């Protein structure tokens, strides 16, 4: 368990206070949803990434009658936060433990801080954090705000108590201006969809109306957590390169830098790339000029012989867990999922997973219900502008045996990547990237082929059953009618003759129609009466 | 009750019961051999209706359909056919005379299917009488037994008077002693025995009112004929009765209808058979029947003969033909059995004049004219269409 994370300050900004909509805080309803989402995703990153089965508690309470101020609390049983980094983790924008290459839910290091900034824009109370790292002897608590002009945390209170029970985890509460009536359905949808792909987590949710919903843990099986990997040369830009170089020792050469810091680069490859860039391999990397850096990036992007990026950094959910989640939530007739093989775009590895659920309790509608996920986060807003929607819209479901006018169909698509190409910092829709689009299409088609097999089988069975019931319905009537010709008015003979004819007819139908034993059982469980 | 039932009735009954039984028991034979249950029934479609030039009859063609119980789409109809067969058979052996409405009610009940969860699915053996009527027709075709032969009754419609005696049931009826009334032609004309007939020909009039007028005027007595009315579109019993008079007693048959396409069609049904029920023609049609009138020539005259109506009478009696009459005339012109020289002349004259006339108009000119001039003169001069 890697309980320790690296924390680095990478850039100051009060930019997001002025542009809250960029981070998804455009109005009270959306802000409420967004704040909840940031906290829940941090909670999950603190648990399953570290192989802890998540137990997450979410409580929203209304605290003011005049203004719509809500207290939002999210509590997890994760790895906790070391007390000395808590103020910066919540109070300094673009300070993150996540600026490494591995698939996590949050990425930009600004989500929760944007929520904090939004919180203090409309009310006075600071945010409250209680946390205990794994094996910590004490439980720490903080109350803090962000000093917007200095991009620094302001600490209002701090304290600690003994940790007698071995508790670890984090609880964050913040007061925000919200709009529960408008946010309600999205919030519930968000929790439901999160639960679908984390069936190994349990959630407790209490809404401002006092309704409590429990989402029980369905399995103890967790996906393999992602590994940290070095960046792939294809995915590098000048800013990242500068940042990496700033952390090098003074005497590191360009060649050593490439070999040590990037995947798929050995001695020989490094020399070829440097030659392509027209540089001296023995030059100290910190001495490179901007112009030389630019040439190096170009060479890295255009070098033809790198091995593809390693998918080790990716963490898929896996077909089993997807099927489990869909089954539990929708109680469908059919469920199936596929995890595709890793692919890459622009130096970033990615994997597409697709789950399909059909029939049962799924509410039929003109278009399939689409569940989009990126790095295990559900995407709720901006559905129609997402590349997933574009692909789903083009699928001809009739080709897969779905003839319904109204489709009782759920299509779930999960994209995991070390870099998800979001359309905006609000992280609500995935951009049209050709490689990804193609892979999503192939994934849906692969999953649909199994659905088709199921549908064909189902149709056959339905027809056989329908025929069977038709005969079942008519055979007694027919036997009775025919017995009249045989018994010639001798009524006492009728029941016996009728039964004989009836049994022969059932035998006939069963042999001629190749009725399976299973259906025959069904056949026998029905009763026919005459009125 | 049985001692009052006539012998012919009993014989007809047992004949029909045997035939029904024989046909339906073939299904049991199939079952005992482990073969799928199949009824072979001649197709009752217009495409399978053939006009037999030689016999001048509208007949069912060779095409047969196989009604298989194992065919999902046929299963219900199959069940209905066997059910109806058994009801008719039961009625026959129990000395009953059901009407088609009785048969409908006797067979109508619900079949209830109860699934393991107790949910029920209900279905009626048949819903409307149309359905059971159609099944009766299937049985007639399947067994080659007409409903009259199976002693299924229908409403009596046709009437007859004339100098003849017949046996119906255990009674001898004298058709010359009906007073102002007439003998209703029973729904089972095959059970009638012709005991004594003193007539030269048969005259059928479409209109009941004209029939009564001719009867009261003593027409049949004076001209030694059997007088019949179908009171509109003829029912099966009237057609069968007429056919027997023609076939067994060799009496010529003349038919008098309105001068319009509807009247022609009534004539056609008597003579050729109806299109929708062509399977019965073999026993019901009278191919020798002649169309006596009223013809277009009677109204307007032809190069060969003078019109029966004066200019003034024409203008007051004639009714202008409607769009539907013209349409009907064009249809009839297409039937192969109307493709003769005299019929083409008749129909063309109608299309040209666009005029029709009811027989009553001839009677308004004077009952005496109709009874003692128009009809006898036309028969004597053979002024009819065959």
What pLDDT, in 10s, does the model give residues A168-197?
999 999 999 999 999 999 999 999 999 999
For residue A500, which residues of chain B lie inside 8 Å, CB to CB? none
Residues of chain A above pLDDT 90, percent: 43
Q: With H, G, I as helix, E, B as strand and everything else as coil, classify residue B216.
A: helix
- Is A531 an 8 Å CB contact of chain B? yes
Using pLDDT thresholds of 50, 70 and 90, give the confidence band for residue A6. low
Whether residue A1 has pLDDT greater than 50: no
Residues of A in contact with B86 (CB under 8 A): 480-482, 484-485
**pLDDT exceeds 50 at position A203:** yes
Highest mean pLDDT among A10-14, A230-234, A452-456, B2-6: A452-456
Residues of chain A contacting B39 with CB distance shorter than 8 Å = none
The nearest CA of chain B is from the CA of A358 a distance in Å of: 24
Catalytic residue among B105, B254, B265, B308: B105
The per-residue b/e assignment along B163-192, b for 16 or more CB within 10 angstroms, e otherwise, is: bbbbebbeeebebeeeeeebbebbbbbbbb
B97 counts as catalytic: no
Please report the pLDDT score of residue A136 as a whole number. 93
For residue A96, pLDDT beyond 80: no
Number of A/B CB contacts below 8 angstroms equals 100
Interface test with chain B among A477, A490, A498, by most B beta carbons within 10 Å:
A477
Q: What is the mean pLDDT of residues A77-88?
A: 90
CB contact under 8 A, A531 and B110: yes
| B128 in Cβ contact with B101 (< 8 Å) | no
pLDDT for residue A108: 45
Record: contact B90-A473, CB cut-off 8 A: no
Rounded CA separation A317/A339 (Å):
8
Q: Measuring CA to CA, which residue among B235, B206, B222 is closest to residue B363?
A: B206
A252: helix, strand or coil: coil
Can you give the pLDDT at residue A98? 43
pLDDT reading at A123 higher than 60: yes
Say which residues have a Cβ less than 8 Å from residue A417's Cβ, sequence separation at least 6.
A103, A314, A348, A349, A350, A351, A374, A375
- Name the residue of chain B whose CA is nearest to A473's CA: B113
pLDDT band at A249; cut points 50, 70, 90: confident
- Residue percentage of chain B with pLDDT more than 90: 46
Residues of chain B where predicted confidence (pLDDT) is lower than 50: 1
Cβ–Cβ below 8 Å for A526 and B116: yes
Q: Which of A470, A477, A485 sits opposite B25 (nearest CB)?
A: A485
pLDDT of residue A113: 83
Residues in chain A with CB shorter than 8 Å from the CB of B115 are 525-526
State residue A261's pLDDT score. Answer: 86
Q: What's residue A100's pLDDT?
A: 46
Q: How far is CA B30 from the centre of its chain?
A: 36
Which chain B residues have any C-beta within 8 angstroms of a chain A C-beta? Answer: 20-21, 24-25, 27-28, 31-32, 34, 36-37, 69-70, 72, 75-76, 78-79, 82-83, 85-86, 89-90, 93-94, 109-116, 121-123, 125
Q: Do A470 and B86 touch (CB under 8 A)?
A: no
pTM as predicted: 0.60
Contact B222, B209 (CB under 8 A): no
- Residues of B in Cβ contact (< 8 Å) with A509: 70
Least confidently predicted of A73-77, A343-347, A436-440, B372-376: A343-347
- Is the Cβ–Cβ distance between A175 and A123 less than 8 Å? yes
Residue A2 has pLDDT above 60, yes or no: no
Q: Tell me the backbone φ, ψ of residue A160, rounded to 5 degrees.
A: -155, 155
Mean pLDDT over each residue of chain A, to the nearest integer: 86
**Interface mutation target, options B30, B33, B68, B116, chain A, most CBs of A under 10 Å:** B116
pLDDT tens for residues A253-291?
Answer: 988 888 888 888 888 888 888 888 888 888 888 888 888
Output the pLDDT for position A17.
64
Inter-chain touch B123–A473, beta carbons under 8 Å: yes
């Amino acid at each position: 368990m890697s309980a320790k994370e690296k924390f680095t300050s990478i850039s100051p900004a009060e930019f997001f206070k002025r542009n809250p909509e960029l981070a998804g805080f455009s109005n009270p309803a959306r802000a409420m949803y967004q704040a909840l989402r940031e906290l829940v995703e941090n909670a999950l990153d603190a648990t399953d990434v570290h192989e802890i089965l998540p137990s997450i508690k979410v409580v929203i309470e209304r605290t003011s009658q005049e203004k719509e101020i809500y207290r939002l609390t999210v509590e997890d049983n994760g790895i906790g936060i070391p007390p000395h980094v808590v103020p910066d983790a919540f109070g300094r924008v673009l300070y993150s433990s996540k600026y490494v290459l591995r698939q996590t839910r949050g990425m930009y290091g600004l989500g929760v801080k944007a929520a904090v900034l939004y919180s203090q824009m409309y009310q006075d109370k600071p945010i409250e954090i209680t946390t205990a790292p794994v094996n910590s002897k004490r439980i720490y608590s903080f109350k803090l705000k962000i000093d917007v002009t200095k991009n620094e945390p302001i600490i209002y209170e701090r304290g600690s108590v003994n940790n007698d029970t071995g508790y670890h985890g984090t609880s964050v509460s913040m007061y925000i201006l919200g709009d529960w009536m408008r946010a309600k359905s999205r919030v519930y949808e968000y929790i439901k969809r999160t639960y679908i792909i984390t069936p190994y987590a349990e959630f407790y949710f209490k809404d401002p109306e006092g309704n409590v919903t429990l989402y029980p843990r369905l399995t103890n099986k967790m996906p393999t957590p992602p590994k940290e990997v070095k960046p792939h040369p294809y995915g590098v830009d000048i800013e990242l390169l500068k940042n990496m170089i700033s952390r090098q020792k003074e005497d590191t050469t360009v060649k050593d830098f490439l070999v040590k810091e990037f995947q798929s680069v050995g001695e020989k490859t490094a020399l070829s790339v440097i030659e392509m860039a027209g540089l001296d391999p023995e030059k100290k990397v910190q001495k490179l000029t901007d112009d030389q850096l630019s040439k190096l990036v170009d060479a890295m992007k255009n070098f033809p012989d790198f091995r593809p990026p390693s998918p080790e950094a990716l963490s898929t959910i896996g077909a089993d867990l997807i099927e489990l989640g869909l089954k539990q939530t929708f109680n469908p007739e059919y469920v199936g999922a596929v995890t595709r093989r890793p692919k890459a775009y622009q130096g970033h590895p990615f994997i597409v997973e697709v789950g399909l659920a059909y029939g049962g309790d799924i509410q039929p509608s003109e278009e399939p219900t689409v569940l989009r996920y990126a790095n295990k986060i559900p995407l709720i807003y901006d559905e129609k502008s997402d590349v997933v929607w574009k692909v789903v819209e083009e699928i001809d479901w009739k080709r897969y045996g779905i003839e319904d006018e109204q489709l009782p169909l759920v299509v779930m698509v999960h994209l995991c990547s070390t870099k998800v190409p979001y359309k905006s910092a609000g992280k609500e829709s995935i951009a049209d990237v050709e490689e990804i689009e193609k892979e999503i299409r192939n994934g849906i088609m692969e999953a649909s082929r199994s659905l088709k097999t199921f549908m064909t089988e189902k149709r056959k069975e339905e027809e056989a059953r329908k025929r069977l019931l038709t005969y079942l319905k008519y055979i007694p009537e027919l036997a009775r009618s025919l017995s009249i010709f045989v018994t010639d008015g001798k009524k006492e003979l009728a029941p016996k003759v009728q039964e004989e004819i009836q049994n022969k007819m059932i035998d006939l139908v069963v042999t001629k129609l190749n009725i399976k034993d299973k259906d025959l059982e069904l056949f026998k469980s029905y009763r026919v009466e005459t009125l | 009750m049985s001692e009052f039932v006539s012998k012919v009735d009993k014989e007809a009954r047992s004949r029909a019961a045997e035939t029904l039984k024989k046909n339906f028991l073939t299904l049991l034979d199939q079952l005992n051999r482990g073969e799928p249950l199949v009824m072979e029934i001649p197709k009752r479609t217009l495409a399978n209706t053939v006009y037999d030039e030689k016999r001048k009859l509208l007949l069912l063609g060779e095409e047969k359909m196989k009604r298989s119980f194992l065919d999902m789409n046929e299963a219900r109809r199959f069940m209905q056919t066997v059910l109806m067969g058994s009801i008719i058979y039961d009625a026959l052996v129990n000395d009953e005379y059901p009407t088609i409405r009785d048969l409908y009610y006797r067979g109508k009940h619900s079949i209830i299917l109860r699934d393991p969860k107790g949910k029920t699915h209900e279905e009626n053996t048949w819903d409307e009488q149309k359905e059971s009527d159609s099944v009766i027709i299937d049985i007639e075709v399947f067994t080659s037994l007409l409903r009259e032969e199976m002693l299924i009754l229908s409403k009596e419609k046709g009437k007859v008077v004339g100098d003849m005696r017949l046996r119906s049931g255990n009674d001898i009826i004298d058709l010359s002693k009906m007073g102002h009334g007439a003998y209703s032609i029973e729904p089972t004309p095959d059970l009638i025995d012709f005991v004594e007939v003193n007539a030269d020909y048969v005259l059928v009039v479409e209109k009941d009112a004209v029939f009564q007028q001719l009867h009261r005027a003593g027409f049949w007595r004076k001209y030694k004929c059997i007088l019949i009315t179908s009171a509109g579109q003829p029912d099966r019993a009237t057609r069968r009765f007429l056919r027997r008079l023609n076939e067994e007693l060799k009496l010529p048959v003349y038919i008098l209808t309105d001068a319009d396409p509807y009247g022609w069609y009534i004539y056609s049904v008597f003579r050729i058979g109806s299109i929708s029920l062509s399977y019965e023609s073999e026993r019901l049609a009278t191919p020798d029947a002649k169309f006596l009138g009223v013809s277009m020539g009677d109204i307007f005259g032809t190069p060969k003969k003078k019109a029966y109506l004066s200019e003034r009478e024409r203008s007051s009696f004639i009714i202008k033909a409607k769009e539907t009459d013209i349409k009907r005339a064009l249809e009839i012109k297409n039937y192969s059995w109307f493709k003769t020289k005299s019929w083409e002349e008749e129909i063309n004259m109608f299309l040209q004049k666009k005029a029709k006339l009811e027989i009553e108009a001839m009677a308004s000119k004077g009952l005496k004219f109709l009874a003692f001039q128009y009809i006898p003169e036309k028969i004597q001069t053979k002024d009819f269409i065959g």
